[in-house]
Structures are given as structure tokens and as C-alpha cells.
A and B are shown apart, each in its own frame.
Chain A
């Protein structure tokens, strides 16, 4: 059975080609989805990729959240469809209320592009089951507004329920609370993270192929469902 993974393009989306390539590397079929079209084309999962949707004007993800396609994504996520938000996609999912918290300007005030070690803190989500718990993976981080922030009670809840999926290893690159790099929804189906697993699927063009595990995890999830 062919697994169909939708990849959304908003005006200003940049990493849609990379997300689609990552899905193909995992032997899924990548299906382009357009911001203005609410039709999810019968996909099994959705990736909201990185970039600067609508120029990140107003606030990162704040405008994209209202695109027609997002209404469908919110509805589908409510029914348990796996959704992955990467970087700007993570920001959009937070704005859309699918994930808790918000992303603010990096503590160093500069855009940061670097290869970043992450620790896998939850390997039971739809997007992280291929990793060993506690494994350390090396993937690119590239963002100017990647500082994860949430209220103390939200952070306590996330930590308590094991919903932090990835945590930065070593120096905190952007001032995220508790070094949080990625979180998941209560049901473990929606995952958002600032680093870019889709840029680490082949050691030729990325630092490693450590990121491929996320897309292979999804394949297991859909095929075994």
C-alpha cells in the first residue's frame, strides 16, 4: 500500500521540496497541498514545512494559520491524522492551537544555522518510534525565532506527560525553555520541532541521515494502523 504524505506550500514556504524528498526517501508518495485549497487529497499524513510563510510578517505562522488548508488540517488532526510541523511549520501548528506554546526570537538575536545534537525523549509518537529512547541525533537547526516558550504550568504538563519529543544537547542554541526542541500533542499524533530532520536524510547533503527516522516512523505508523 502506498502511503500518501501531504506537503503544504504557503506563499513563502521554502523547505517543501525537502520535506517531499524526505517522504520519498521513506518510500511514501509526496502529495503537494496548496494553502488556498482546503482539499487534503486523501493523504494519510501532513507535513507543514519550514520557510517564511507570508514573509513571517505580523508574527511567525500567525497568517498561515488562517489559510483554508489549515482548517482541514486542524479537523483531520482532531480525528487522529499524523501531522508534523518543522520550523515555520511548528510555529504554524502552535498558532493553530494544535500544539501548546510559542516560538520567540533566539536569545542570541541572530539567525542560527548549525548542525545540532538532539536527544530523543519520547519514542512513542507517530513520528519518533524508530528512535531508541535517549538516542542522540545530529540534524540542522536553522531559524531566527526558535526559542520555545510556554507558561510554567504548560511546561510542567509537557514534562510530566512525557510530551517533550526532542531536547537540545549541549549549549541551548536559542534560549528555549528547558532546552525543548520539539513537542507532541496529547495523543502523540501531532509533532512540531524547530530543527530540520528533512535536511538530514543523506550524509551527502546533510550532516547525517539521522532525520530519516522521523519519516520511517510515520511509515510504520500508517502501515501498521
Chain B
């Protein structure tokens, strides 16, 4: 095997290199040559091409993402311990506890290989959390698929769900929530966004630094193989054709294969290493593998780094330096360890049967030097690989058809007016793929492991107790309605933020931070960049108004079915804190004898982008519901006060499907009937199905009703009594319309997904 060394590169400046096949543009390649003052070696080219990819470098989004930091107020900054740019954001939640959380996409691999794509998505985000020095606490997943009854959805969805479950269950992390949404735009490009949340003591925060010359670099976890090499295989086939005795190299799938058992052991091993205090810095190996880990660790430190690549434990023979550097084999971590602690480090790894190898050291100087059997194959300034990649100001243009889309409002859609038709619509909507019970999916996820789960699906938010002594806990919710974002990306992103914020509030927790996963089409399409720019601005302005920072996240571009971009889907995850999880607010009604149902907020005639327009009419047009973030904040404060003073016995956010769906779910989850009184001033259909934002259905014990409504009135939060809970009743009754037996509702709500996917 001939290795392309730095020395060889210096003497062969004109050698053709397959940089275009690796995704580099001509000017990007020229810039690499300028940085190095020569042509890159194969290994260097592999590193730059991966690290300068859209996925790793954020080259199209960087100019926008900078605005997140610039927009932080003192209020927002006050609880942030780490923000965008670290593996995951970290916030202080009091009592010496810190929480780290992040959402990340694994969309494209999940289309190619649903099970492994989803599984390794979970594995990757969990390692991001460990790399902050935290114990992973729970996972959530936000999933989007093509039409529920499309043949390919039957291939993709069961595989993705089994992958999320297969990996997460084996790691021992409760899955506490998420989303499953169907829309035709995701048919050829499902979204698999995985969220992980972890906990640590504030003093134990580990940032990825390679400081201190002489410190050792230790690679530990799984061996490095040929899986997930993807594009870099062109280097092997072009440059090394025939090196293996003429035979073709065995092609391995570009999607990595996960081994959750190895990851579980790796988690426990890392936690013990943190506890022993023998880690200076730590970095996970995810996308871009060692290329990313070594260049990022070296960039973040105060020196250079020397890596001896031949020391990397391999699981394939004949791997080239470029392949080793770009392999995305899963379940690997890289640590920086002081020389005197190496033995102790190895002992902990030995206890957990984790393979660990000292592959290099921190050096004086500013170069990342990688050798292969004493020959230099990489010699680069690490920041140019990790952080100083290209930055693009992509053209932005409002889509030509946006005006037509907005003009085509839902006003002309036929609405049910007869009582029987309205009732039938309640059933139809409850059984629609997007509103029906997610039980078929969530039943495949372990929500109990580790014994801290206080709320999980089908609750609006997941909630985990983090301290058994004090009962302090956290709540999490993820949301996005891509139809709203399509109609108005700015308002749509704010509605996603508002919904996640509200979902955390209805659990009784106080929202404190945001992580986002921005899924969009091609950044080379000016119309997509317009959606992206507007959505980001919406999130930034929204977060300022709500006073909570975005602490991290992920951008995923090039999501399209054929040449059509997906609905713009900025998934927003909101983290909340609750000082005592025993006062959590459940979603189901009927926990206490004699409850009154109140609707908080205003209901307007708002059907643009609604689930009703989508499911019943296949319509998308008009404008999304009005955003009022001050109202969302007020709602949060009222729910918090209600929870603190024991005035609220259940609460459920109103979103897709409106009041009707909220009532159906509150009854079915609580296994209790209710009688609903509609307002004679407004038509029944609008009251039941409008998706006006800023609304919550609450159940209050009759004894607390007056106190609670007085508080709402005093704080100028509109409220209306909409019914009473009736534990004796087996039906959901709408005054003047008729009643629906709970059994019939349950069959409609729970029957849809099993019928489609069993």
C-alpha cells in the first residue's frame, strides 16, 4: 500500500485529486492549497472535505447562527454554563445541578437504512451528552414521515421506531416523549431528530479541550472499521486501485451500524472516569470520526497535537490513513489525560472491558500532526480544519409562489354545521394519522428505566426527577408544525417555540432553555434560504421575548423528496425546571372528584395550516394562527401558580386539532367522561377545531374554581368555563350537539396506527 505522505505531496504538486467527488468546490480546494502552501495529502483532503461539508461546517448557516449569541440578554445568559459551539448546551438549574441537552438530526441515513439510521442517531446524541461530563437521563425523538398510508412509510416507520427503541432501550435511557408527524413532503426524506438530556454537578462540566503539552490522547470504545466512510471511499478506489492485489475492496454500507451494548458499557466507563477526576478533556466521535475529534480537540486547546495513526485499533485490514480518519464507526470517544493518570484511566477501561489506546499527545506549537508509521500524513493548523472553513452568504429570495399560498386561505373550505356532522368530525379528527394515539410507537420504548420518569408520553411534556432527596426535576417538550412554517416561516417557528414552551408550562415546570433542530431543503435554493432566515429570526426574536436562550442545536439541509423541499421544520425543544416533581400536572382528567373544565386563552377563527384543513380537505394555504408570546408567558405564570397552590388537577395544551382533540385526549388518558358547554356567541365548529395559539384546557377541583378564575381575571388572562368532569359518565357529551361514547372515541383514536403498521 502506497501512502500519500506530506513529503510525497510536496514533490508532486500537480497530482490530480478527486476533490470534487469529495464534495469540495474548486475555490475550496484552492483555499486548502493556499493554507497548506502545497497540495493536501489524501488524508488531509479527506479531513478537510468532511469537516468543510455542510453537515460539519455549517457553512450556509453560520452567518445566521451567530445571531443567536449576539441576541442574548443578561436574563438569558444568567443560567447558561455552555452554549452554541460546545457538544451540547448546559444550563444551571439550581441546587448545584446542571442540565445539558441537545437535539440532532439523522435524517438521510434513516431513509436509506431506517433501523440503523435511527439507532445510530440516538447513539450519537447520547455521546454528545456524555462528552459534556454528564450522565444521560432520557431521550426523546421527533419523527416525520410521508403519508401514513404510503407503501414506503410502511418500510421506513417501523424500522425507525424499532431502531430508536432497540438502541435506546438497550442503553437504559427512558424515552419520555417526542412527535410523530405524517406529511407527503417527507415521503423521500423522513426526519429523525433525536434529543438527549443529561445531568451533572455544575463543578463537573467537561469541555472538549486538549490543553497541556505532554498530555496523552486516548481513543477508547469500539474499534475503527470501514463502516460509514461514505464519500471518502473515492480516495481508496481512485488512488489505491489495485493495491489489494487487484481485487475490489469490500464495499460497506455508508450508513453506520450501531452496537448499543458497547455504548452502554462506554457510558458507564465514562461516568466512572469522570468520577475519578482523571479526564482533562473529552470529545465524542460522531460524524467525521477522528478527523473531527482530533481537529476540534486541538483547536480548542492551547497547543498542537501529534497523533500516531497506526495505534488506532482497527476491525478491518488494509485501511488507509484517510479511511481511518474519516471512518464513522460508532461507540468511540477520545479523551485527553495527564500522563500520571494514564494507568488509572486504563484500569477503569479494563474494568468495563473497553478497548483503550494511547494514540497521541498534546504538543507545543500550533500544528496537528498525524503520522503513519513515522511518516507524516497530516500537518495542518487545526483551526483551519475545524473552525475556519468556508462561510457562505447564500442568496435569499422570498418564494415566487408564497403570495399565492397565503392568498389561498381556508375560508372557502366546507365546514360541518349540523350537530351530527360536527360530532362526526370529532371522531374523524381523533382517528386521523396525525392526531391519533401514538401508543403503537411509544409502546416500543422503555419509559420506566432508572425510576425517575414522572411524566412520559402521552403527556404534553416528559418529566424526570433528578434528585430523589429534594424531588427537583426537569421537563422537556419538542414541537413543530411544518405547515405553519411553510405559510409563514417567521410566525411558524415562533408557534413551534410557543407550543413547546406551553407544553412544558402545562406540566407545572418553568421553561428555561431551548435547543433546536432546523430541518430545511437545499441551501442552494434561495427560497429555502428565505424560509431558513425567517425561521431563525423568528426563533431569535421569540426567545428574547420569552427570556430563554437557545443553548445549542443542529442544522440539517438538503432535506427534499425528489426536487421538492420538505416543509420547513424547525423542531424546537424546550427545557423546563420544576423544584418539586410531586406537584406535576397530569394530562388526563378525573384524578380528583368534582372537577371543572376551563379553557384559558382566546379562540379565533384560525384554520390556515390546521390539521382539519390538512386531513379533511388536503388543503394548505392562508396564514397560520396569530402569535402572542406575552400571552404564552402569562399562561406559564398562571399554570405555575396553579400548580404551586394545588389549584390545578390536570392541564392539556391546545394545538393540532384544537379544543375537540384536547378534550378527547384528556378524557381518554384520564379514563373519565365529561360534559362540555359551548359558547353560544361562537359557532361550534370554530370553538372545537380552531388552532388558535396560547390556549390551555385545565381541570380545577371545584373547591379551587373561584380562587383560580379570580387569579386569571386579576392577571387579565381570558378564561371560560367549558364543562365539568363526570367520573360516572362513559361518554364525552357536547351540550346541544350530542355525545360520543368513550369506547367509540378510544377505538377511533387508538385504532389508526395499529391498522396501518401491524
Q: Which of B345-359 contact A (CB under 8 A)?
A: 352-353
Chain A positions 77 through 101: 1 when the CB is less than 8 Å from some CB of chain B, otherwise 0: 0000000000000000000000000
Residue of A nearest to B456 (CB): A113
| Given A12-B261, A52-B170, A55-B260, A112:B451 Cβ within 8 A | no
From A114, A198, A199, A205, give the contact of B465 (CB < 8 A): A205
Does B740 count as interface, using CB distance less than 8 angstroms?
A: no
CB distance from A55 to the nearest CB of B (A): 3
22 contacts between A and B (CB under 8 A): A11-B264, A12-B264, A14-B449, A17-B450, A17-B451, A18-B451, A52-B170, A52-B261, A52-B264, A55-B260, A111-B162, A111-B165, A111-B444, A111-B445, A111-B446, A113-B444, A113-B445, A142-B446, A144-B169, A199-B449, A204-B465, A205-B451
In the complex with contacts A12-B261, A51-B172, A52-B264, A205-B452 CB distance below 8 A = yes
Contact status B581-A204, CB under 8 Å: yes
Contact assessment for A114 and B264 in the assembled complex, using a CB-CB cutoff below 8 Å? no
Across-interface contacts of B758 in A (CB, < 8 A): 108
- Indicate the size class of the contact surface on chain B: 20 to 34
Q: A137-159: which have CB < 8 Å to B? A: 140, 142, 144
Question: What's the least CB distance linking A21 to chain B, in Å?
Answer: 6
Does A110 interact with chain B (Cβ within 8 Å)? yes
Inter-chain CA distance A140–B448, complex, in Å, is 8
Q: Roughly how many angstroms separate A198 CA and B450 CA in the complex, as a whole number?
A: 10
Closest Cβ neighbor of A140 among chain B residues: B448
Residues of B within 8 A of A11 (CB): 261, 264-265, 352-353
In the complex, the answer to whether B448 meets A142 with C-beta atoms within 8 Å is: yes
Given contacts A56-B261, A110-B162, A140-B448, 17 further A-B contacts (CB under 8 A): A11-B352, A12-B170, A14-B172, A14-B264, A14-B449, A18-B451, A21-B451, A21-B468, A52-B169, A52-B170, A55-B170, A55-B264, A111-B445, A112-B443, A114-B443, A144-B169, A198-B451
List the 4 closest A-B pairs by CB distance, nearest first: A55-B261, A14-B172, A199-B448, A18-B451
Mark each residue of chain B from 567 to 592: 1 if its CB lies under 8 Å from any CB of chain A, else 0. 00000000000000110000000000
Contact of B319 with A by CB under 8 A: no
* A110 contacts B444, C-beta separation under 8 Å: yes
* A206 in the interface (beta carbon within 8 A): yes
Which residues between 336 and 371 of chain B lie within 8 Å of chain A, taking CB atoms?
352-353
Which chain A residue lies CB-closest to B172? A14
Q: What residues of chain B lie closer than 8 Å to A18, measured between beta carbons?
A: 448-451
**A150 and B450 alpha carbons, distance in the complex (Å):** 31
- Least CB distance from A130 to B in Å reads 20
Listed in ascending order, the chain B residues whose CB lies under 8 Å from chain A are 162, 165-166, 169-172, 259-262, 264-265, 352-353, 442-454, 465, 468, 581-582, 758
Give A176 to B162 CA distance when docked, in angstroms.
22
Q: List chain B residues, Cβ under 8 A from A55.
A: 170, 259-262, 264
Query: Closest B-chain residue to A198, C-beta based?
Result: B451
Q: In angstroms, how far is the closest chain A Cβ from the Cβ of B446? A: 5
Binary interface encoding of chain A residues 158-182 relative to chain B, with 1 for a CB under 8 A from any of its CBs, else 0: 0000000000000000000000000
Residue among A111, A113, A196 facing the most chain B CB atoms (10 A cut-off): A113
* Contact among B261, B452, B453 with A57 in the assembled complex (CB-CB below 8 Å): B261
Residues on A with beta carbons closer than 8 Å to the beta carbon of B446: 111, 113, 142
A111 to B447, CA, bound (A): 12
* Interchain CB contact (< 8 A) of A113 among B162, B264, B353, B448: B448
Residues in B whose Cβ lies below 8 Å from that of A15: 172, 449
Chain B hits for A17, CB < 8 A: 450-451
Q: How far is the CB of B757 from chain A (nearest CB, A)?
A: 10
Residues of A within 8 A of B452 (CB): 205
Residues of B with C-beta under 8 A to A14:
170-172, 264, 449-450
Closest chain-A Cβ to B263's Cβ sits at a distance in Å of 10
Q: A-side interface residues toward B, CB under 8 Å?
A: 11-12, 14-15, 17-18, 21, 51-52, 54-57, 108, 110-114, 140, 142, 144, 196, 198-199, 204-206
Set of chain B residues within 8 Å of A54, measured between Cβ atoms? 261
Residues A204 and B454 in contact, CB atoms below 8 Å apart: yes
Neighbour of B448 across the interface among A21, A196, A204, CB < 8 A = A196
Chain A residue nearest to B471 in the complex (CB):
A204
How far apart are B362's CB and chain A's nearest CB, in angstroms? Answer: 31
Residues of A with C-beta under 8 A to B444: 110-113
The distance in angstroms between the C-alpha atoms of A196 and B453, with both chains bound, is: 14
CA distance A185 to B123 in the complex (A): 39
Who on chain B is nearest to A196 by CB? B448
Contact B582 A204 (CB under 8 A): yes
- Minimum C-beta distance from A66 to chain B (A): 15
Residues of A within 8 A of B581 (CB): 204
Q: How far is the CA of A54 from the CA of B169 in the complex (A)?
A: 14
- Most A CB contacts (10 A, CB to CB) among B165, B265, B451 go to B451
Complex contact A110–B451 (CB within 8 A):
no
Residues on A with beta carbons closer than 8 Å to the beta carbon of B265: 11-12
Closest to B447 in A: A113
Q: Which residues of B contact A140 (CB under 8 A)?
A: 448
User: How many Å from the CB of A123 to the closest CB on chain B?
Assistant: 25
Give the docked Cα–Cα distance between A196 and B259 (Å): 25
B447: chain A residues within 8 A (beta carbon): 113
**Chain A minimum-CB-distance residue to B465:** A205
From B584, which residue of chain A is reached at the shortest CB distance? A204
Provide the residues of chain A in CB contact with B465, threshold 8 Å: 204-205
Report A35 CB to chain B, min CB distance, Å.
Answer: 11
CA of A110 to CA of B442 in the docked complex: distance in angstroms?
11
Instruction: Report the bound CA distance from A110 to B159 in whole Å.
Output: 11
Chain B nearest CB, measured from A15 CB (Å): 6
A51 and B169 CA atoms in complex are apart in Å by: 8
Q: Whole-angstrom distance from the CB of A115 to the nearest CB of chain B?
A: 9
Question: Would you call B169 and A111 a contact (CB within 8 A)?
Answer: yes
Give the shortest distance, in Å, between B69 (CB) and chain A (any CB): 38
Tell whether, in the assembled complex, residue A206 and residue B448 are in contact, meaning their CB atoms are under 8 Å apart: yes
Q: Which residue of A lies closest to B758 (CB)?
A: A108
A208 → chain B, closest Cβ, in Å?
12
> Shortest Cβ distance from A140 into chain B, in angstroms?
5
Contacts of B468 in A (CB 8 A): 21
What residues on B are CB-neighbors of A199 within 8 Å? 448-449, 451
Q: Specify which chain B residues have a CB less than 8 angstroms from the CB of A196 in the assembled complex.
A: 448
Cα-based distance from A204 to B583 in the complex (angstroms) = 10
Which of B171, B443, B454 lies in contact with A205, CB distance below 8 A? B454
Write out the residue numbers on chain A whose beta carbons fall within 8 Å of the beta carbon of B166. Answer: 111
A59 CB → nearest B CB, Å: 14
Contacts of B453 in A (CB 8 A): 205
Contacts of B449 in A (CB 8 A): 14-15, 18, 142, 199
Separation of A185 and B449 alpha carbons in the complex (Å): 27
Q: How far is the CA of A198 from the CA of B353 in the complex (A)?
A: 28
Could you tell me the distance between the alpha carbons of A205 and B448 in the complex, rounded to whole angstroms? 8
From A54, which residue of chain B is reached at the shortest CB distance?
A: B261
Contacts of B264 in A (CB 8 A): 11-12, 14, 52, 55
B330 to chain A, nearest CB (A): 13
Chain B proximity of A34: nearest CB distance (Å): 9
CA distance A113 to B444 in the complex (A): 6
> Which residues of chain A have C-beta atoms less than 8 A from B445's C-beta?
111, 113
Closest-by-CB residue of A relative to B449 is A14
Chain B, residue nearest A22 (CB)? B451
Whole-angstrom distance between the Cβ of B440 and the nearest chain A Cβ: 9
Measured in the bound complex, the distance between the Cα atoms of B758 and A94 in whole Å is 31
CB distance from A142 to the nearest CB of B (A): 5
Once the chains are docked, how many angstroms separate the CA of A54 from the CA of B265?
9
CA distance A198 to B454 in the complex (A): 15
B11 CB → nearest A CB, Å: 49
How long is the Cα–Cα vector from A196 to B174 in the complex, in angstroms? 14
- For B261, the chain A residues whose CB sits under 8 A away are 11-12, 52, 54-57
Which residues of the partner chain A approach B442 to less than 8 Å between Cβ atoms? Answer: 113
B452–chain A nearest beta-carbon distance, Å: 6
**Chain A residues, Cβ within 8 Å of B262:** 55
Q: A53: shortest Cβ distance to chain B, in Å? A: 9
Expressed in whole angstroms, the Cα–Cα distance for A12 and B269 within the complex equals: 12
C-alpha gap A108/B259 in the complex (Å): 24
- Name the B residues within 8 Å of A198 (CB-CB): 451
